[in-house]
Amino acid sequence: MHPSTGGPPRVAARLAAAQAKAGHGVTIVSYDGGDGNVATAEMSATIPYSDQVRSIYVPVGGRLESIFAWEAKRVLSGLVAEADVVHLHGVWYSILLAAAEEARRRGRPYFVQPNGMLDPWALEQRALKKRIGLMLAFRKMLNRSAGLVLGNEEERRLIAELNLKAPSVVVPLNGMFPEEVSVLPGAEAIGKRFPQLRGRRFILFLGRFHYKKGVDHLAEAFALFAKGNSEVDLVMVGVDDGAEGDFRERIARHGLTERVHMLGPLHGKAKWEAFSAASCFALPSHQEGFSIAITEALACGVPVVITKNCHFGEVAEAGAGCVVELDDEAIAGAFGKILNDEDVRRSMSAAARELVATRFSCHTMGRMVLDAYERALSGVAR
């Protein structure tokens, strides 16, 4: 069972699907996102084997529910009783505390997947609230878990200073099913959906418009790059999470409104059309645990420009893109390296596909996490 904090993120959905494909009964529990559930359903529909996963939505219930998780506790009680293992996605949410407490009460092992929420940068955001939260409840939740599921060795290094007692297992959580990209739309498909992109080369951003994602730096870097590259546009895909207004102002100030295309959120076939047509993918984040969007771009053969804060060093090792500091000129220079040399772009494209195919398979991810469950269950009656 996989309690999470909202509509199940792509990493939770893919992990659950991989476990279901391996023959296990899997349930994802999350708070009811209202209209967001429609987007979640569209996203999940493109993930192989997701139809084998049961999803249960807990009514949100207002401010008191977010603090005390009364409704979540009611729903979780019966579900945890049915489960062998509970897998928590995230850290700072009452529904996860409720699931952990119910698992302990029922004698079920539970795992916590922090998803980057314990990284130093993340802990600095609302730092006082998180310090208090750790002291009162969340450190206990983490320490009593059967294990922490971490996306890479860098995440393990970054959380070491917290001195948590639970063991950890490193799993390539930003995985893809090979089936997802076995047949991709042609590069011309996006132009049929969005005529303004017909015949245009473009850099693609896909994610939330949030300060964490570095969209302010992306605006400034594209402005630097655009001065000598009039044939390349920027396509922005995602929902506003507080930073879209500032991004639009920056683009307007540089006179680039006509070359920056705001498409809103794209799911299912439309998302893959955008990846298939992109010349480059950009994610200049302040912090990432393990971005699925990066892996999706790589799987489509799209070279990426990401920051070191994305903790995806395999990109540089494989020659599948550029990993740079969070610096406007460095990001702009990476755009030029990829987009102004077709031989370089083609080589990076091939390396990107190879990297995902050999090192980031959901089938491998699912097996590794199931192995961790089995070790935890070895001394527990089922």
Strand partners, 213: none
User: What's the whole-model pTM score?
Assistant: 0.84
pLDDT, residue 161, reads 94
Tens-place pLDDT, residues 64-76: 888 888 889 999 9
Inform me whether the pLDDT recorded for 380 exceeds 90.
no
Give Cβ neighbours of residue 369 (< 8 Å, ≥ 6 apart). 15, 19, 87, 111, 149, 169, 171
What are phi and psi for residue 176, nearest 5 degrees? -130, 150
What are phi and psi for residue 314, nearest 5 degrees? -60, -25
Tens-place pLDDT, residues 114-128: 999 999 999 999 999
pLDDT, residue 42, reads 61
Question: What single letter denotes the amino acid at residue 337?
Answer: K
Structural domains of the chain ordered from first start: 2-177+362-377 (3.40.50.2000), 178-359 (3.40.50.2000)
H helices of 149-243, in order, are 153-159, 189-193, 215-226
Is residue 197 within 8 Å of 277, Cβ to Cβ? yes
Tens-place pLDDT, residues 290-324: 789 999 999 999 999 999 999 999 999 999 999 99
